[in-house]
Amino acid sequence: MAYPKLFLKKGKEAVAASRHPWVFDGALDVGRSGGAPPGPVELCASDGAFVGIGTYNPASAIAVRLFARESAAIDEAFFAQRLRAAAALRESVVSRDTDAYRLVNSEGDGLPGLVVDSFAGHLVAQVGTPGIAALESAWIAALVEIVRPASILLRANQSAANRERMEAPSGQRLGETPPTLDVVEWGVRLRVDPHRGQKTGFFCDQRDTRALVGCLAKGRRVFDGCAYTGAFTAHALAGGASSVVAVESSQPAAALIAVNADLAVPGGAQRVSIANGDCADLLDASDARFDVAVVDPPALAKKRQHVDKAARLYVALFAKALRRVSQGGFLVACSCSAAVDRELFDQILAAASREAGRETRLVHRGGAGADHPISAFHPEGEYLKTAVLYAP
């Protein structure tokens, strides 16, 4: 299939050599490329040499997102090939006692702009570019062919839609997705709200960190800050926590914490105290001590220009939690801000320890699970950072 051709400016050959999937608008020879509409395009060097195929958005700073370095039609067969590879990877890295995982991780699976999570055989997808939106019929057909899901639901990704200046597609695409879904993660039962929950309804990326919290929790008092629907709480209870204090500002999300506590451990909700409010405020107001404190706030730096302010907020929040950690206890600190890199995250942890007046030791670094692959050419795909600090 012949796609509109876009050309790189002379001197931008490094864009092609880097194999990075993003091409910014400043690298394109706009006058020569013409007025291509959003959708599939062929990218060429300034001398006309083929670079790759991808999708184009003239309204975005990331003008082209490359799918392949060889000529191909981005059609149902193309998506089927990429989805087979994605499914095979998950077959290798997702535990048999887990049925909630990420099936497609955008650039990490060679499908920029598409995210698909699988919940007990039901798929929930988010579209992040107008190019992927334009190709919906092809990738939906490929999902049906390769995965044979019980249902497919599109959830609006409004932040991406605003950034890409597009309409956020949403709605049922196959079957009927139930109002709630019960899933299993490392053998722990959890309830997911695919229609109203954040993102796709559940944060599969923290699965490995939740399992680690389950290991740390036995016989210990646990604090679950920014608890969302209580997945960390559920794993802590399954691991034998003596008690959990779970804090969540969203009332609809907090309503599922007790449900998930009882799904994880019959009667588990009796060991959980649920507070509807701000995590930092509760830490300030309380003099309680915890043996394990989990602090997993929403992204505090959505753009590079927000990093300095976000770093100060992370330091303050982690320091507040550290002051509540008992001697010999643990802080599980998390950041899902892509703009906060590992080096800065380590600096934040050190600054929080100084501010709290605590000696700490870094005993674990983590991030998203293996079902969230990152392209070696796209380090920006590593957004989630987690760390476990031991406070002797």
CB 233 within 8 A of CB 275: no
Measure the CA–CA gap between 124 and 45, rounded to whole angstroms. 37
Active site residue 336: yes
Measure the CA–CA gap between 120 and 100, rounded to whole angstroms. 6
Q: Which residues have C-beta within 8 Å of that of residue 119, sequence separation ≥ 6?
A: 99, 100, 181, 183, 192, 194, 200, 201, 202
Per residue, what are the HEC states of the chain? Answer: CCCCEEEECCCCHHHHHHCCCEEEHHHECHHHHCCCCCEEEEEECCCCCEEEEEEECCCCCEEEEEEECCCCCCCHHHHHHHHHHHHHHHHHHCCCCCCEEEEEEHHHHCCCCEEEEEECCEEEEEECCHHHHHCHHHHHHHHHHHHCCCEEEECCCHHHHHHHCCCCCCEEEECCCCCCEEEEECCEEEEECCCCCCCCCCCHHHHHHHHHHHHHCCCCEEEEECCCCCHHHHHHHHCCCCEEEEEECCHHHHHHHHHHHHHHCCCHHHHEEEEECCHHHHHHHCCCCEEEEEECCCCCCCCHHHHHHHHHHHHHHHHHHHHCEEEEEEEEEEECCCCCCHHHHHHHHHHHHHHHCCCCEEEEEECCCCCCCCCCCCHHHCCCEEEEEEEC
Given 44, 204, 226, 336, which residue is catalytic? Answer: 336
Catalytic residue positions, numbered: 336
